[in-house]
Structure 1
Amino acid sequence: MIYSISKAQPDEALPQHLLLLADENPDLIAVYLPHSESFLLKVDNQILGVCLIQQKEQIGEIMNIAIEPAFQGQGLGKALLQHVIGFAREQGLQRLLIKTGNSGIGQIALYQQQGFDLVAVNYNYFLEAYPQPIWENGIRCKHQLVFEIAFS
């Protein structure tokens, strides 16, 4: 599959359904979206993936990353993540963080395969920050796992 990844243009609408796929709390998205750089993965000019990253001093954080469900499992998420890791390196960041729920088995594997290490657990984060229960892979999402990749 031939795809392209580029920064979103300032006037380009981001796919809300993808942002909500990665983060079910629209209020939180509204807080971090204006302070994030957005990357879009496109196939035939159709947006199939989105990734938001924030930078503060020498640390970056991936705030949101998602691939259109019908296209998951085809390496597009991996490609988008690798692109953003490369961007973070080019920006001279020392570290890049990404957070996910304890129930996101596929995401947890992908992040570790790309060099991220588990560095912290925010216990009961999803019980406190999200009004509705989140279930994924038959597991209740309760805890936020914090992964980090350090650049030399």
Structure 2
Amino acid sequence: MDTLVANAIRGKGAMPPKGGNMALGEAEIRAAIEHMLRETGLSAGGAAKPAPEPEPAPAAAGSAAPAGGSTDLAAGERVYQSACFACHGTGAAGAPKVGDKAAWKDRIAQGMDALVANAIRGKGAMPPKGGRADLDERAIRDAVAYMVSKSR
């Protein structure tokens, strides 16, 4: 546990010190790591809990939305706020800022499928899914549609 906390405080690999939030104290970082360990079924001692029975996936899980398929802009805004804003709201790492019509013009011209594919695979400094492996294609498509709608 102490090694995990030390790595989180110092940063490791692509992870910045304190996850990029320099205001966090050691107790908060330790609590966050303990939470992550519990969520993955591990404990600070390293013993894994038995895996729960998987729930059946919904029929539509993993299915790709058709090209030009409907999107949920409200859901897209939520994903944008939680996953995309740090870069696309500020222009960090060369990301096109939402609302910057000039920066988005050529990107929008590529079409939604190309934009979604780039977001899923990652492009330039942007990691796959913006670093949010938990997001499915539908969530990515909604977030991209939201950003495009604000950048036309």
User: Do Structure 1 and Structure 2 share a fold, with TM-score over 0.5?
Assistant: no
Larger strand percent: 1
Larger gyration radius, structure 1 or structure 2:
2
What's the TM-score, normalizing by structure 1? 0.23
| Structure possessing the higher relative contact order (Cα contacts under 8 Å, 6 or more residues apart) | 2
